[in-house]
Structure 1
Amino acid sequence: MHGAHGVGYETYSRKHEVRMKVEKKRQEEHMKCQQMVANLEKKIHS
């Protein structure tokens, strides 16, 4: 947790604002990865 997001689990679990920031970053990274996969699949099947 600390290495990937710069916060420890204790801080993450206690502070709602920190948790929301981490989850927003996770969601953005997930969407970015999904888009990369879709682009690669499109290139493979073209």
Structure 2
Amino acid sequence: MEKAMYQSHGVGYAEYSRNFNKRMQVERDRDLDYRQSLMMVREFDRKLQK
């Protein structure tokens, strides 16, 4: 989990746990990634419906 966290966000879990600002930045990035993936799925589904 530590390695994945560092590769994905450039922050280790220990720093993520200690630093509130880092945690908020990681969570904003996760939310953005999630929303972008939803948009991709919707677009893909829309194209399949045609």
| Fold shared by both chains (TM-score > 0.5) | yes
Q: TM-score, normalised by structure 2?
A: 0.90
Query: How much does 1:29 deviate?
Result: 0.5
2:45 corresponding residue in structure 1: 41
CA RMSD of aligned residues (A): 0.4
Aligned residues: percent identity?
37
Matches within 5 A, 1:1-46: 1-46=5-50
- Tell me the amino acid that sits aligned with residue 23 of structure 1: E
Deviation string 1:1-46 (CA, Å, 9 cap, x unpaired) is 0011000000000110000000000000000000000000000011
- Equivalences, count: 46
Runs of 4+ in 1 over 3 A off after TM superposition: none
Distance 1:44 1:8 in 2: 40
Q: TM-score, normalised by structure 1?
A: 0.97
